[in-house]
Amino acid sequence: MPRKTRIEYPGAVYHVLNRGNNRTELFSVEKAGESFEETMFQACSRFGWRLFAYVLMSNHYHLVLETQDANLVAGMQWLQSTFANRFNRIVRDHGHVFQGRYKALLIEDGGSLLRVVNYIHLNPVRAGLLTVENLKHHPLSSFPKFFTKRRPECLHSGDWLALAGNLKSTGFGMRSYHKYLALTAEIDAQKRSALHRELCRGWYIGTREGRKALLKDIDNGTLETRTDLTGFGEDLAEMLLDQGLAALGKTSVDLAVGRKLESWKVVLATWIKEHAGVNNRWFSERLHMGTIYNISKGIHQEIKEGNRRKGDWRKLKRAKSKA
């Protein structure tokens, strides 16, 4: 049976969810939840995603995100495979971590977005882990993070807070939203089940009119969709490469004649990798860095030990801020 085609276009908003292989309790494992959060935030940075809400439960996750480019597939492949490697290192095991493909349901603009955000934030309440009143005590969720000033740049609340009564992205706005959530919590089991079917199954969350309009746009070609992502991220990586070389005072000739893992090359590759979804083979070919294994090892070492306040890192940071 062929796989369903993912519908991708710039500005698409999705409810993405998946669970552990054979319902394995992934996020109950010590440090696993924090590792997924870190990987998720890195994916948002690399692929330019806006993250509206998320929650990690014991054996599954929910995300609501907007792809500013048509890159859901590329980003999710990176997110799940990268976390799987990290999880297997934590438990000192190998094999499949997730239960096959993730689900991704398109969300219509407007009230549908707010409904899914509410559904995700209330997941711990429906699971009986805590009450709406102490919802901030579930750490592996976007909900408590929206109450802090220091949170990942990819987290955005303005879109859905406005839908919850013209609330603002402020402490007062979030406190008002918290009270609003208490009014939306569904206690009837049958209605909860119906809500799950509506928001977690199928391919689209929204009105019948919205679904028809989207299908019409796709069918007549007025909406640019992407399903073949071969080479995704390479245009962005090429642009960053030009910017990086200029900032470092280097040229393509320096790439060709320099040592394969020269320190400035490793810094440049690490910087590009953090912002563009390209694999290590691209660095081997474009930066003349040798084997994929050695590139991976060099980048990992730079991430672990690199001093980003000095030298080449400062030059690249200035180049990015001017872009």
Tokens 């710039």, located at residue: 10
Cα–Cα distance between 53 and 185 in angstroms, integer? 17
**Is the pLDDT reported for residue 177 higher than 90?**
yes
Under a CB-based contact definition with an 8 Å cutoff, are residues 42 and 274 in contact? yes
The residues spanned by each domain of the chain are 12-220, 234-322
Per-residue pLDDT, averaged over 203-224, amounts to 81
Residue pLDDT, tens place only, 249-260:
999 999 999 899
Per-residue pLDDT, averaged over 153-169, amounts to 94
**Is the pLDDT reported for residue 23 higher than 80?**
no
- CA angle, residues 11, 17, 20, in degrees to nearest 5: 150
| Tokens matching residue 184 | 């939306």
Q: Which of 10-14, 56-60, 120-124, 236-240 has the lowest mean pLDDT?
A: 236-240
pLDDT at position 96 is 84
pLDDT at position 1 is 41
pLDDT at position 227 is 53
User: Which of 48-52, 94-98, 281-285, 306-310 is the most confident on average?
Assistant: 48-52
Residue pLDDT, tens place only, 88-121:
888 888 778 998 789 999 999 899 999 999 999 9
Per-residue pLDDT, averaged over 76-94, amounts to 90
pLDDT at position 259 is 92
pLDDT at position 214 is 84
pLDDT at position 230 is 38
Q: Which of 42-46, 113-117, 201-205 has the lowest mean pLDDT?
A: 201-205
Of residues 21 and 253, which shows the higher confidence score?
Answer: 253
pLDDT at position 101 is 84
pLDDT at position 309 is 67
* Residues 181, 187, 188, 192, Cα dihedral to 10°: 60
Q: What average pLDDT is seen over the chain? A: 87
The correct CATH number of 12-220 out of 3.30.70.60, 3.30.420.40, 3.30.70.1290, 2.40.50.1070 is 3.30.70.1290
Question: Does pTM surpass 0.75?
Answer: no
- Counting every residue written for the chain, the total comes to 323
φ/ψ of 288, rounded to 5, equals 55, 55
pLDDT at position 229 is 37
Residue pLDDT, tens place only, 296-306:
989 988 888 87
